[in-house]
């Protein structure tokens, strides 16, 4: 017998999502240091503060909206997406775009057509590409070359010194592979050991930690399997096809699934109940297209990863997908969908 999801309020759903992010945030912090926590905590506090400010200006009640914790979720997701130890002003700009522009200007929770956290992330990636692509090398939380909590706070509070960033930062696996010398084959790239020791394993561990949190959301039926399975399946399928066609130039599917933000995006970003497709069939189309777009952007785009842009592009397509994937309603032989061209033509002829 099918197990039905218990009824939950928006606040309860958001609380479980916050709990589910803990394994991923813990893994990020363990491998990339205190800067992950400064990102997440400051972004979450900004999310609640900016939402309260806008509600006050709109003369709306603060308590119901702040109690649903959606602004905290947006802050945590954006903070976890940013390079560890990002400056306060960078996080502020991203959260203003996410909470004020992408959410409140459209009417608040339930009205936003685009994922707020990804709007903020995409804006920062386009406007500040240097700061957004400078990930710290995975020195660990207590490693000999790891930044201390005090150093991380100073980096968070101080202006960003690009030269200093270059000295302590490193490329992600996706970034290093994408920008390898054109003459190099994939085998030469792997043989050259271009990344600091432990970089690939750190990113894989973080991806698996997000998978643990995503599995928790699936078990609790906070999300359904359709979007994560379709997104990761599509991404893995197209990565496998590219690798099968030319393994000398393309990385394998495990690299694409575990080397970037694919799992994080599949479980925590693309599943946003407001901006994602609603029907089961629509979710499959929506997520499969995101997986394909991620691969196209990674192979042919300017940025090494493509999760944020792929999700936002498919947010544009959600009304179209929902229109053509409406389920059959009780009492009707077929679903009411599609543009009734014939009926429009007949009406025009009568006029």
- pLDDT tens string 12-39: 999 999 999 999 999 999 999 999 999 9
Do 208 and 117 have their domain in common?
no
Residue 347 lies inside a defined structural domain of this protein? no
- What pTM was estimated for this model as a whole? 0.87
> Of the given ranges (66-75, 279-288, 338-347), which has the lowest mean pLDDT?
338-347
Residue 98 lies inside a defined structural domain of this protein? yes
pLDDT score for 45? 96
Reduced to 3 states (helix: H, G, I; strand: E, B; else coil), residue 94 is helix
Region of 228 on the Ramachandran plot (φ > 0 left; ψ -120 to 50 alpha; else beta): alpha
Query: 65 falls in which pLDDT band (50, 70, 90)?
Result: confident
The arithmetic mean of pLDDT across residues 326-350, rounded, is 55
Query: 348 falls in which pLDDT band (50, 70, 90)?
Result: very low
Q: What is the dihedral of CA 249, 253, 258, 259, to 10 degrees?
A: 10
Query: 64 falls in which pLDDT band (50, 70, 90)?
Result: confident
Residue 348 lies inside a defined structural domain of this protein? no
Give the count of alpha carbons within 13 A of 6, CB side only: 5
Q: Which of 135, 169, 203 is the last residue of a domain?
A: 169
Do 75 and 182 have their domain in common?
no
What is the overall mean pLDDT for the chain?
86
Q: Which of 169, 190, 219 is the last residue of a domain?
A: 169
Do 148 and 231 have their domain in common?
no
Report yes or no: 68 and 10 within 8 Å, Cβ to Cβ: yes
Do 161 and 104 have their domain in common?
yes
Do 93 and 111 have their domain in common?
yes
Distance CA 189, CA 183 (A): 10
Residue of 130 and 261 predicted with greater confidence? 261
Report yes or no: 115 and 275 within 8 Å, Cβ to Cβ: yes
Per cent of the chain over pLDDT 70 is: 87
Task: Give the count of domains, the chain.
Answer: 2
Query: 351 falls in which pLDDT band (50, 70, 90)?
Result: very low
What is the 3-state composition of the chain as percent helix, strand, coil, each rounded to the nearest 5? 65, 0, 35
Do 231 and 135 have their domain in common?
no
Residue 311 lies inside a defined structural domain of this protein? yes
Please tell me what DSSP assigns to residue 83.
P
pLDDT score for 334? 63
> Of the given ranges (187-191, 216-220, 273-277), which has the lowest mean pLDDT?
187-191
Residue 338 lies inside a defined structural domain of this protein? no
Do 28 and 135 have their domain in common?
yes
Do 196 and 255 have their domain in common?
yes
Looking only at Cα atoms, what is the longest distance across the chain? Answer: 82
Do 263 and 313 have their domain in common?
yes
Does residue 344 surpass a pLDDT of 60? no
Report yes or no: 312 and 267 within 8 Å, Cβ to Cβ: no
The arithmetic mean of pLDDT across residues 245-260, rounded, is 90
pLDDT score for 345? 47
Reduced to 3 states (helix: H, G, I; strand: E, B; else coil), residue 346 is helix
Do 312 and 278 have their domain in common?
yes
Do 151 and 199 have their domain in common?
no
Instruction: For residue 78, give the nearest of 59, 60, 63, 93 by alpha carbon.
Output: 93
Do 153 and 186 have their domain in common?
no
Report yes or no: 240 and 294 within 8 Å, Cβ to Cβ: no
Residue 297 lies inside a defined structural domain of this protein? yes
Distance CA 10, CA 205 (A): 30
> Could you tell me where the DSSP H helices lie in 179-225?
186-191, 199-219
pLDDT score for 333? 60
Q: Which of 133, 149, 169 is the last residue of a domain?
A: 169
Residue 334 lies inside a defined structural domain of this protein? no
Instruction: For residue 6, give the nearest of 220, 166, 208 by alpha carbon.
Output: 220
Report yes or no: 239 and 251 within 8 Å, Cβ to Cβ: yes
Residue of 234 and 64 predicted with greater confidence? 234
Instruction: For residue 172, give the nearest of 180, 164, 183 by alpha carbon.
Output: 180
Residue 61's domain spans which residues?
Answer: 8-169
Residue 259 lies inside a defined structural domain of this protein? yes
Q: Extract the tokens encoding 26.
A: 């813990």
């Amino acid at each position: 017998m099918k197990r039905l999801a218990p009824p939950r309020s928006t606040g309860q759903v958001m609380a479980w999502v916050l709990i589910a992010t803990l394994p991923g945030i813990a893994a990020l912090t363990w491998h990339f240091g205190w800067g992950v926590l400064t990102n997440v905590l400051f972004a979450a506090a900004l999310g609640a503060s900016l939402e309260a400010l806008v509600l006050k200006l709109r003369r709306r009640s603060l308590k119901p909206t702040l109690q649903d914790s959606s602004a905290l979720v947006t802050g945590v997701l954006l903070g976890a997406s940013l390079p560890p130890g990002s400056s306060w002003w960078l996080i502020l700009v991203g959260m203003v775009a996410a909470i004020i522009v992408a959410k409140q200007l459209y009417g608040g929770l339930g009205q936003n057509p685009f994922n707020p956290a990804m709007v903020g992330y995409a804006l920062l990636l386009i406007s500040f590409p240097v700061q957004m692509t400078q990930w710290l090398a995975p020195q660990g939380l207590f490693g000999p070359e790891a930044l201390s909590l005090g150093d991380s706070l100073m980096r968070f509070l101080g202006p960003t010194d690009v030269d200093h960033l270059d000295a302590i930062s490193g490329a992600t696996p996706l970034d290093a592979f994408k920008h390898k010398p054109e003459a190099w084959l994939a085998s030469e790239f792997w043989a050259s050991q271009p990344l600091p020791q432990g970089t690939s394993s750190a990113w894989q561990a973080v991806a698996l930690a997000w998978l643990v949190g995503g599995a928790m959301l699936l078990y609790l039926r906070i999300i359904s399997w359709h979007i994560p399975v379709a997104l990761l399946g599509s991404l893995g399928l197209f990565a496998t096809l590219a690798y099968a066609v030319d393994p000398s130039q393309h990385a394998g599917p495990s690299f694409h699934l575990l080397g970037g933000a694919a799992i994080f995006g599949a479980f925590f970003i693309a599943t946003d109940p407001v901006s994602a497709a609603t029907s089961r069939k629509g979710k499959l189309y929506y997520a499969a297209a995101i997986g394909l777009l991620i691969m196209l952007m990674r192979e042919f785009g300017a940025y090494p990863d493509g999760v944020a842009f792929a999700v936002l592009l498919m947010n544009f397509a959600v009304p179209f997908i929902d229109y053509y994937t409406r389920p059959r309603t009780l009492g009707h032989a077929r679903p009411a969908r599609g543009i009734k061209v014939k009926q429009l033509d007949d009406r025009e002829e009568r006029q």
